[in-house]
């Protein structure tokens, strides 16, 4: 049976959604080992086991160090003894840090932006390109295990009824100066509504809004519909809204029941992040905008007229 290793991310013993998504796929492919940084592996063992991990390899407490260098060094040492067939990461801030360091430690290549894994004469990753219109299938040809970085919401998290995972502490090799970055403070940015990547309704604004103040219409509409506001990369880059609002290849991947794109033309980088929505409504003044090619309802019109009318029509 193949040995599949996955990066497990937890917060105070609660396993992150993307980790559970990885487990749903990994347990189909072989026996699953989760590797983890932090002091909460014991707490997470039941949930990780229920989703299909038989073992957790953990660094234990890292004294506020960023996890990348320590976890990558420890996992590389262990992997050289046990030779897993594949190593899977979620595309998260932490996941990319550990994956980058690990690829150097193991001299292993990475395949990124994967939305599906096919077990067909060696594991093959499926990567969407050109706004999701084309899929590229890639597999490793070398001797070492390959590293796959998998996008959120590629698989559906589901319990499999396994017993708690066993916990094994990794020894951390000497990190030199690489481990010297320390977290001094953590800030959680609270928002009133649902989280962008979990909301059933997402209302996103783009450059077509004209100016930063008009984003308030997006916030208002999201609020009225009980959804979350989002944004295209163009207006995040322009500084209108924080990076955490960004929907797209570079930002969050969303799959709500209804996605409303207002003043967004539909650049490749945006479409990849919202194409999986159940239904899409687009408002844009350019009838040629690519967003219309995937919209269930497209309104060719001025967002400055349609949005105020829509807000008034919905009422409170």
Partner 1 sequence: MKVAVCVKQIPDPADPGAIDPETKTLKRDVKLILDESDSYGVEMALQLVGEDGEVVLVSMVPNNERNGLNNALAMGADSAILVSDDALSGSDALSTAKVLAAAIQKTEPDLVLAATESSDGYTGTVPEQIAELLGLPSVTFAKEVTVVGESVAVKRQTEDGYDEVDCPLPALVSVTAGVVEPRYPSFKGIMAAKSKPVEQFSLGDLGIETTTVGWAGSRQEIVSIEPAPAREAGEIVEDEGDGHEKIVTFLQEMKVI
Residues 162-201 that bind partner 1 (CB under 8 A): 176-189, 201
Strands 166-169 and 123-129: unpaired
Cα gap 177→218, rounded to integer Å:
45
**Least Å from the CB of residue 100 to partner 1:** 3
Q: Which residue has the tokens 């009318």?
A: 309
Cα gap 245→231, rounded to integer Å:
5
The residue within the footprint of partner 1, chosen from 28, 158, 219, 302 (CB under 8 A), is 302
**Least Å from the CB of residue 158 to partner 1:** 22
| Region of 51-59, 67-75, 77-85, 166-174 interacting with partner 1 (CB under 8 A) | 67-75
**Helix ranges restricted to H, 1-66:** 17-29, 41-50
Strands 123-129 and 116-119: antiparallel
Chain positions 97 to 116 lying near partner 1, rule: CB under 8 A, are 97, 99-101, 103-105, 107-113
Cα gap 34→48, rounded to integer Å:
8
Q: Residue 279 interacts with partner 1 (CB under 8 A)?
A: yes
| Region of 20-28, 45-53, 153-161, 275-283 interacting with partner 1 (CB under 8 A) | 275-283
**Least Å from the CB of residue 152 to partner 1:** 10
Find all residues with CB under 8 Å of 2, minimum gap 6, and list them: 29, 30, 31, 85, 86
Cα gap 282→295, rounded to integer Å:
6
Helix (H, G, I), strand (E, B) or coil at 125: strand
**How many residues make contact with partner 1 (CB under 8 A)?**
94
Chain positions 247 to 266 lying near partner 1, rule: CB under 8 A, are 249-250, 257-258, 260
Chain positions 221 to 250 lying near partner 1, rule: CB under 8 A, are 225, 233, 236-239, 243-244, 249-250
Chain positions 117 to 156 lying near partner 1, rule: CB under 8 A, are 124, 128-130, 132-142, 146, 149
What's the angle, vertex CA 293, arms to CA 291 and CA 296, rounded to 5? 90
Beta carbon nearer to partner 1, 16 or 167: 16
Beta carbon nearer to partner 1, 164 or 300: 300
**Least Å from the CB of residue 168 to partner 1:** 24
248: left (phi over 0), alpha (psi -120 to 50) or beta: left
Per-residue x/- marks for partner 1, 72-91, CB under 8 A? x------------------x
Beta carbon nearer to partner 1, 129 or 160: 129
Q: Residue 19 interacts with partner 1 (CB under 8 A)?
A: no
**Which among 154, 135, 155, 162 is positioned nearest to 33, based on CA atoms?**
162
Q: C-alpha 236: how far from its chain's center?
A: 18
Cα dihedral across residues 223, 228, 234, 237: positive or negative: positive
Beta carbon nearer to partner 1, 214 or 249: 249
Beta carbon nearer to partner 1, 1 or 188: 188
The residue within the footprint of partner 1, chosen from 20, 170, 264, 294 (CB under 8 A), is 294
């Amino acid at each position: 049976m193949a040995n599949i290793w996955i990066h497990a991310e937890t917060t105070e013993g609660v396993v992150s959604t993307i980790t559970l998504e990885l487990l749903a796929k990994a347990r189909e492919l072989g026996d699953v080992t989760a590797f983890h940084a932090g002091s909460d592996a014991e707490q997470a063992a039941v949930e990780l086991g229920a989703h299909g991990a038989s073992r957790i390899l953990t660094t234990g407490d890292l004294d506020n160090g960023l996890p990348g260098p320590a976890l990558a060094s420890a996992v590389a040492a262990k992997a050289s003894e046990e030779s897993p067939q594949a190593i899977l990461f979620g595309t998260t801030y932490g996941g990319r840090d550990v994956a980058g360091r690990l690829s150097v430690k193991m001299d292993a290549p990475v395949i990124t932006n994967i939305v599906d894994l096919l077990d067909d004469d060696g594991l093959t990753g499926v990567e969407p390109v050109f706004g999701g219109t084309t899929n590229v299938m890639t597999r490793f040809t070398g001797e070492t295990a390959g590293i796959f970085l998998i996008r959120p919401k590629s698989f559906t998290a589901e319990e499999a009824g396994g017993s708690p995972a066993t916990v094994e502490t990794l020894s951390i090799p000497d990190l030199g100066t690489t481990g010297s970055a320390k977290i001094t403070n953590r800030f959680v940015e609270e928002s009133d509504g649902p989280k962008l990547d979990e909301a059933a309704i997402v209302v996103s604004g783009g450059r077509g809004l004209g100016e930063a103040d008009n984003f308030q219409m997006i916030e208002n509409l999201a609020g009225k519909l009980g959804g979350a506001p989002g944004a295209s990369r163009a207006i995040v880059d322009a500084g209108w809204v924080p990076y955490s609002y960004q929907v797209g290849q570079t930002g969050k991947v969303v799959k709500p029941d209804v996605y409303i794109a207002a003043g967004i033309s539909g650049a490749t980088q945006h479409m990849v992040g919202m194409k999986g929505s159940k239904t899409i409504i687009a408002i844009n003044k350019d009838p040629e905008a690519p967003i219309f090619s995937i919209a269930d309802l497209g309104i060719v019109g001025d967002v400055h007229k349609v949005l105020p009318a829509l807000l008034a029509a919905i009422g409170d």
